[in-house]
Amino acid sequence: MEIPVLYADEHILVVSKPAGLHTTPDGWDPTLPHLRLLLAPRWGALWLVHRLDKDTSGVLLLARHPEAHRALNRQFEARTVRKTYHAIVFGEPAWQRRTVTLRLRANRGRRKRTVVDAKGKEARTDLRVLQRFSGVFSLLEARPHTGRRHQVRVHLFAVGHPVVNDPLYGVRTTDHPLPIKRLALHARRLEFRHPATDEPLGFTAPHPPDFAATLENLAAYGHLYAEPPLAE
């Protein structure tokens, strides 16, 4: 499986993770391939700084030594890292921008769902409509300020616009067949400071072919443009 490299130096490695690839060894089947296993022959030991769900594509940051790992972890803990996701969702929001602050609790069990719970942990996601497709689908930008498990997916489900093909949250069907057959969620951009130089960095992962083809398909189906994405 090809893993596009967006940036590399002696401290960090930034890749565009393909959909369908585990970030870490699968807890139920450790023989399945995962990101570090595939990268190791070329890049050696790598330290994970954050994770993406198996079926989520997009920007992923790894550290190349323990000192860089600690420095990057501090940024995530301080919530100074800026994460931007693109999601193709069901329905057309009645709003253009919205901030969701529903608290979340990790649920147990093999499916490892996360649920909205007033006694759960603080969670905040800023949402913005990028495109509207005939009232049936929309392309949303999601910027999570906290890092709860499945946060973007759960918050979108909670406001009535679940991600297309989400097997855990708000599964729906449609009469309009779409090219994308997996979770329609893409980690579009990641912004942080270099762990050694403190230089501000930002990396954008292009939409993968299935995601891009779905947007083209929906555009042909009929759409109304909303606000353009913020400058990257």
Q: Compute CA distances 150 → 3, 91, 181, whole Å.
A: 23, 20, 19
- HSE of 62 in the Cβ direction (CA atoms, 13 Å)? 25
Q: Exposure of 220 by Cβ count < 10 A (0-12 exposed, 13-18 middle, 19+ buried)? A: exposed
Number of neighbours of residue 29 by Cβ within 10 angstroms: 8
Identify the active-site residue in 26, 29, 53, 175: 53
Quote the CA–CA distance of 131 and 38 in Å, as a whole number.
35
Does the annotation count 126 as an active-site position?
A: no
Question: Which of 201, 200, 194 is CA-nearest to residue 67?
Answer: 194
Quote the CA–CA distance of 23 and 187 in Å, as a whole number.
13
54: left (phi over 0), alpha (psi -120 to 50) or beta: alpha
* Residue 108 CB contacts under 8 Å (≥ 6 apart), including other chains: none
Q: Which residues are catalytic?
A: 53
